Structure 1
Amino acid sequence: MEVLKSKVYLVLLFCLTVFITSCNLGNQQVEVITSDEMEMLLLSDSVQLIDVRSFEDFQDKHLKGAQSIVFDADFEENILKLDKSKPVAVYCRTGRRSKECSQVLKEQGFSKIYELEGGLEKWEHDDLLILKSDEVNLEM
């Protein structure tokens, strides 16, 4: 009988540990990443990349593969076109706006969210940056 109680105790302890761990993982959905880590994500092509700055800022300069979803009154409606089960990487100019956006994405149930630390001001990989002047040169 004592062995049975010990096993039941261990099973309950295991279930409690799994429950606590899963709750903690939910709180860690947003991962702030460096420019180098973001570069690796972009090269692996496994992430939905969104630029939350104004459309004008996006047109002037943005990361290769990014789509513009402006952080405004329509943001929550506009993110519905994204796949919640796939990772999302978000950036802005300084990182302040993307931090707010990350929280909205988390509240809306996105599975994994990456936030670029320091935004485009800290971006270090010019080969993945598209400038308005580059697009004009391509059209010539």
Structure 2
Amino acid sequence: MRVVPKLALYLLFFMGVVSCQSQQGNAIKRIDKQTLKEDVIGKDVQLLDVRTPGEYKAGHIEGAVNFDLSKPSNFLKQLEELDKDRPVYLYCLVGSRSDYAAKVLEEQGFTKIFDYSGGYADWVRD
């Protein structure tokens, strides 16, 4: 059995996202803190924190589940647990990783993706 090097997995993951960029946009919507508070907090939604487990443990938005984007194969496997037709809300620290994750979800067939572009840094700021 041949093991694919980690770098090759990252490259395949990245190429898959880049190849679909011209098709993106319809399923992804950027949201702000107020929208997250009104539409997500205290509700039964799919809220993903795409930061590392260490970042998640240091603090996260209530109700969020940690899907570590830095491990592409695990991230894709975790996505299989979600309902592609229900809204998915994403956030990271400042918005870069969640933007990337939103593109991955769209490529994987998710139809309602909401990216909290302010991220956790915005969430904890008053």
Letter of the 2:48 counterpart: I
1:104 lines up with 2:112 in the alignment = no
Per-residue deviation, residues 75-133 of structure 1 (Å, max 9, x unmatched): 1111111111110000000100000000000011112000002211111588xxxxxxx
**Which residue in 2 is equivalent to 1:54?**
52
CA contact (8 A) 1:36 1:124 kept: no
CA distance in 2, matches of 1:44, 1:119: 18
Q: Considering fraction of residues, name the structure with more helix.
A: 1
Kindly, what percent of the aligned residue pairs are identical?
A: 33
TM-score (norm. length: structure 2): 0.73
CA contact (8 A) 1:54 1:70 kept: yes
**Which residue in 1 is equivalent to 2:36?**
38
**Aligned residue pairs: how many?**
101
Letter of the 1:96 counterpart: S
**Which residue in 2 is equivalent to 1:133?**
none
**Rg larger for:** 1
**Which residue in 2 is equivalent to 1:129?**
none
CA contact (8 A) 1:46 1:87 kept: no
**Which residue in 2 is equivalent to 1:138?**
none
CA contact (8 A) 1:89 1:116 kept: yes
CA contact (8 A) 2:98 2:117 kept: no
Per-residue deviation, residues 22-43 of structure 1 (Å, max 9, x unmatched): xxxx732100000000111113
In the alignment, structure 2 segments of 5+ residues that lack a partner are 1-23
Change beyond 3 A, Cα 1:81–1:67: same
The structure 1 segments of at least 4 consecutive aligned residues displaced by more than 4 Å after TM superposition are none
CA distance in 1, matches of 2:100, 2:59: 21
SS at match of 1:89: strand
CA distance in 2, matches of 1:88, 1:82: 8
CA contact (8 A) 1:32 1:115 kept: yes
